[in-house]
């Protein structure tokens, strides 16, 4: 049946059940197993399968479709499941260091099941654990063992009620008292309460707390982090002086307990300062390997790229799940047709293809991007651990920081919009909780906000790009780009003279939109630079000048650059000689569709700057997008089969692999609690009739 796929693949990737989706599957231009093996690799597929199977086979992970668990119960279940994940120990401690992609895959597998669970595990083990490991020193390693054994449970407390993005304005203080060799952690008022901290609401016993460090000589040394015990692990009652609680229900991820804490002169041992970037001697002297506060601050907030790249991956997972649901629905939902007797699947409509297929392409393109960028970051980290302090390493760090800062907004917004489109594309059934699109949207939403508000982050990317235009160094080298994201800038500003001279057919490959993107980014770079110079020349201070350049300049520049970077990587990947011949056509179509659809948001600028002229250029882009959609629609179900998790994990009646849309939905609805029962308060209807207007006199 699949001669090009090695033996054993059928056991690893069993055939989807026959049913209404068979028609589309039979029309696919490629073998879905071959793509799955090419995309993920057999080892990774096996690993994911082992995780999924464990969850599906364990009653603790049983689904309660469509139900809104009471908050307390949901929190409890999430905690119990977190413990169970530790017991499964899907990855050994050695894997944590040696198989970084598997760590990522485990987070994604848990997230596909439920983001509250994934977040709970991640915050304790990777965020709290890494903070201790990376910001502390040997004297803190005792905590690592306690983290692994769950003797303590951790959280990461940076944000305060009144400050998030502006971390320098954090107001919690840590005064050192040499008499007792302790730090006194204090919240000056409730606006400085730690707030939003995941795991802090009900479960964390320890927190990495960021506070302004003061030494007895009266000097402030800026933000440092401390391990602070906030609850007694025996009783889960708060420690003296700590007021800790739950911030309440959020739009999503309610299995996770986000919390707040106020510290009333809480004393902690001197050794609990995480002292990688600065320490206090027993006598109270401040010592640091860094020359100035800014440099130290930068280093202490260093590992931000990890968070941002992780969030990109989470957003991509959500997008994959949503398009899987919406495309299987669209291939089986029939509505209207050429005659009153014959209805066609809504996927046959051009509008439905155009609404969904670009997001399917985006899921593939961004999945490739986030995974490959993650590996770049791993490489950076390995260099750092190996003691590489070269200029190239520093440039790699800056480049990754810029790309991670812009990639998070691009991925989280693409997912947010894509999930909403999927919800609407499923009509009313998309609005039913049991079909999961709402949960995906709500759980994805914070990806737009945490680890840096998207708009704030984009400024990191645009500032990086604008910085490259500064006068060349004496040796003539303007910049190096270890990730090659900046290579196109070699041609700047000459590239601005380029014009689109191709034909409509050229748009069917991603090379054409890639060339257009290079021109576009150079155009926006020039526009942004000129605008910034103008603003500064008009006498505004740097703060106002920068603020006034964001909307149509720096913001657009950062987004266009990120799209270019994603398009470039996916183009290179899909045009690589290593792609098996039977998969080339479909992967290149995905690459072209993502590239062109993204580019089409910028058509106005392409015309305005002269890259496009005449009506035909714009028309040909539109035509090519629709052509690519039409070419991909028969592959859509098979492409979903490659990225969709098992039905138990996907957890959506309208998105099940058998395509039995109505049977699955009907079955789920009938499983609702008390679905056919009259309400407990029925007597309110029948016995106490309202007295119409009876209260009118009260108005």
Catalytic residues: 451
Draw the binding track, 77-106, toward its own copies (x: CB under 8 A; -: no contact): --xx--xx-xxxxx-x--------------
Residue among 248, 269, 270, 250 nearest 259 (CA)? 248
**Does residue 438 bind its own copies (CB under 8 A)?**
yes
- Contact region for its own copies (CB under 8 A) — 27-35, 441-449, 473-481, 492-500? 441-449
CA distance 392 to 394: 5
Q: Which two tokens stand for residue 576?
A: 């690589």
Gap between the terminal Cα atoms of the chain: 76
Select the residue interacting with its own copies from 424, 487, 490, 576 (CB under 8 A).
424
> Considering only residues 583-622, where is the footprint of its own copies by CB under 8 A?
603-610, 612, 615, 617-619, 622
Q: Quote the least distance from Cβ 81 to its own copies, whole Å.
A: 11
> Considering only residues 521-550, where is the footprint of its own copies by CB under 8 A?
541, 543-544, 547-548, 550
Q: Quote the least distance from Cβ 254 to its own copies, whole Å.
A: 8
Sheet with strand 242-246: strands edge to edge: 194-198, 258-263, 242-246
For residue 631, give every residue at least 6 positions away whose Cβ sits within 8 Å of its Cβ, in sequence order, or none.
589
Cβ proximity to its own copies: between 392 and 544 the closer is 544
> Considering only residues 459-498, where is the footprint of its own copies by CB under 8 A?
none
Q: Which two tokens stand for residue 282?
A: 């027993």
Residue among 366, 229, 225 nearest 303 (CA)? 225
Cβ proximity to its own copies: between 396 and 625 the closer is 625
Q: Quote the least distance from Cβ 518 to its own copies, whole Å.
A: 19
> Considering only residues 147-186, where is the footprint of its own copies by CB under 8 A?
148-151, 153, 159, 161-166, 168-169
Cβ proximity to its own copies: between 105 and 432 the closer is 432
Q: Which two tokens stand for residue 85?
A: 């994940």
CA distance 423 to 425: 5
CA distance 307 to 377: 11
Cβ proximity to its own copies: between 581 and 680 the closer is 680
Cβ proximity to its own copies: between 475 and 615 the closer is 615
Cβ proximity to its own copies: between 141 and 685 the closer is 685
For residue 13, give every residue at least 6 positions away whose Cβ sits within 8 Å of its Cβ, in sequence order, or none.
32, 33, 36, 37, 45
Q: Note whether 239 and 231 are within 8 A (CB).
A: yes
CA distance 62 to 58: 7
CA distance 594 to 361: 5
Radius of gyration of the chain (CA): 27
Q: Quote the least distance from Cβ 435 to its own copies, whole Å.
A: 9
> Considering only residues 35-74, where is the footprint of its own copies by CB under 8 A?
50, 53-54, 66-68, 70-72
Residue among 126, 129, 123 nearest 146 (CA)? 129
Q: Quote the least distance from Cβ 42 to its own copies, whole Å.
A: 17
Q: Quote the least distance from Cβ 429 to its own copies, whole Å.
A: 9
Q: Quote the least distance from Cβ 472 to its own copies, whole Å.
A: 28
Cβ proximity to its own copies: between 3 and 674 the closer is 674
Draw the binding track, 242-271, toward its own copies (x: CB under 8 A; -: no contact): -xxxxxxxxxx-------x-----------
Draw the binding track, 219-238, toward its own copies (x: CB under 8 A; -: no contact): ------------x-xxxxxx
202 three-class SS: coil
**Does residue 581 bind its own copies (CB under 8 A)?**
no
Select the residue interacting with its own copies from 349, 479, 573, 648 (CB under 8 A).
349
Select the residue interacting with its own copies from 415, 432, 557, 657 (CB under 8 A).
432
CA distance 65 to 179: 58
Q: Note whether 197 and 168 are within 8 A (CB).
A: no
Select the residue interacting with its own copies from 450, 479, 573, 648 (CB under 8 A).
450
For residue 117, give every residue at least 6 positions away whose Cβ sits within 8 Å of its Cβ, in sequence order, or none.
78, 81, 82, 85, 110, 111, 255
- Contact region for its own copies (CB under 8 A) — 188-196, 301-309, 391-399, 464-472? 188-196
Draw the binding track, 326-345, toward its own copies (x: CB under 8 A; -: no contact): --------xxxxx-x--x--
Segment (H or E) for 412: helix 391-425
Phi/psi at 274 (5° precision): -80, 110
Q: Quote the least distance from Cβ 307 to its own copies, whole Å.
A: 15
């Amino acid at each position: 049946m699949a001669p090009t796929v090695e033996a054993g693949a059928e056991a690893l990737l069993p055939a989807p059940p026959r049913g209404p989706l068979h028609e589309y599957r039979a029309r696919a231009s490629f073998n879905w197993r071959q793509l799955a093996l090419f995309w993920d690799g057999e080892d990774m597929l096996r690993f994911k399968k082992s995780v999924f199977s464990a969850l599906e086979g364990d009653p603790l992970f049983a689904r309660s479709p469509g139900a809104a668990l009471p908050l307390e119960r949901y929190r409890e279940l999430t905690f119990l499941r977190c413990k169970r994940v530790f017991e499964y120990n899907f990855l050994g401690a050695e894997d944590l260091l040696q198989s970084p992609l598997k760590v990522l895959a485990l987070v994604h597998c848990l997230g596909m099941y439920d983001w509250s669970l994934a977040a709970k595990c991640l915050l304790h083990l990777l965020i709290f654990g890494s903070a201790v490991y990376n910001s502390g020193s040997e004297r803190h390693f005792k905590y690592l063992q306690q983290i692994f054994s769950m003797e303590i449970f951790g959280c990461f407390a940076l944000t305060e009620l009144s400050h998030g993005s502006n971390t320098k304005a954090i107001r919690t203080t840590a005064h050192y008292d040499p008499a007792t060799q302790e730090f006194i952690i204090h919240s000056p008022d409730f606006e400085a309460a730690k707030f939003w901290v995941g795991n802090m609401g009900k479960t964390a016993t320890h927190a990495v707390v960021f506070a302004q460090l003061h030494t007895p000589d009266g000097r402030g040394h800026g933000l440092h982090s401390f391990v602070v015990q906030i609850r007694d692990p025996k009783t889960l009652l708060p420690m003296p002086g700590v007021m800790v609680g739950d911030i309440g229900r959020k739009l999503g991820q309610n299995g996770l307990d986000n919390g707040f804490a106020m510290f009333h002169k809480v004393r902690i041992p001197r050794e609990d300062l995480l002292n990688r970037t600065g320490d206090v001697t027993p006598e109270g002297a401040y010592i640091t390997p860094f020359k100035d506060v800014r440099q130290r601050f930068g280093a202490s907030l260093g590992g931000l790229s990890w968070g941002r790249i992780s969030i990109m991956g989470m957003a991509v997972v959500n997008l994959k799940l949503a398009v899987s649901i919406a495309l299987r629905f669209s291939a089986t939902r029939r509505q209207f047709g050429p005659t009153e007797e014959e209805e066609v699947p809504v996927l046959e409509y051009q509008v439905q293809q155009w609404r969904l297929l670009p997001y399917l392409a985006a899921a593939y393109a961004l999945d490739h991007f986030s995974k490959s960028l993650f590996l770049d970051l791993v490489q950076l980290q390995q260099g750092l651990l190996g003691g590489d302090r070269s200029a190239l390493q520093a440039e790699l760090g800056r480049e990754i920081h810029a790309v991670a800062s812009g990639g998070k907004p691009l991925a989280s917004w693409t997912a947010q919009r894509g999930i909403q489109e999927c919800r609407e594309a499923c009509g009313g059934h998309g609005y039913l909780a049991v079909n999961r699109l709402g949960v995906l949207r709500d759980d994805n939403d914070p990806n737009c906000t945490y680890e840096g508000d998207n708009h704030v982050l984009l400024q990191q990317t645009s500032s990086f790009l604008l910085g490259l235009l500064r006068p060349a160094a004496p040796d003539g080298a303007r910049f190096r780009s270890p990730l090659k994201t900046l290579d196109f800038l070699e041609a700047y500003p000459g590239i601005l003279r380029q014009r689109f001279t191709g034909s409509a057919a050229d748009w069917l490959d991603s090379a054409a939109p890639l060339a257009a993107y290079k021109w576009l980014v150079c155009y926006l770079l020039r526009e942004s630079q000129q605008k910034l110079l103008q603003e500064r020349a008009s006498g505004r201070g740097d703060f106002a000048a920068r603020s006034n350049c964001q909307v149509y300049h720096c913001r657009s520049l950062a987004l266009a650059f990120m799209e270019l970077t994603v398009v470039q990587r996916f183009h290179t990947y899909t045009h690589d000689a290593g792609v098996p011949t039977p998969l080339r056509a479909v992967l290149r179509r995905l690459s072209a569709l993502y590239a062109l659809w993204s580019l089409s948001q910028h058509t106005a600028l392409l015309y305005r700057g002269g890259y496009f002229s005449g009506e035909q250029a714009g028309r040909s882009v539109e035509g090519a997008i629709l052509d690519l959609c039409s070419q991909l629609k028969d592959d859509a179900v098979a492409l979903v089969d490659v990225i969709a998790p098992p039905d138990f994990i996907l957890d959506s009646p309208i998105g099940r692999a058998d395509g039995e849309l109505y049977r699955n939905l009907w079955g789920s609805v009938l499983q609702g609690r008390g679905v056919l029962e009259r309400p407990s308060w029925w007597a309110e209807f029948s016995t106490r009739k309202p007295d119409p207007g009876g209260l009118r006199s009260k108005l």
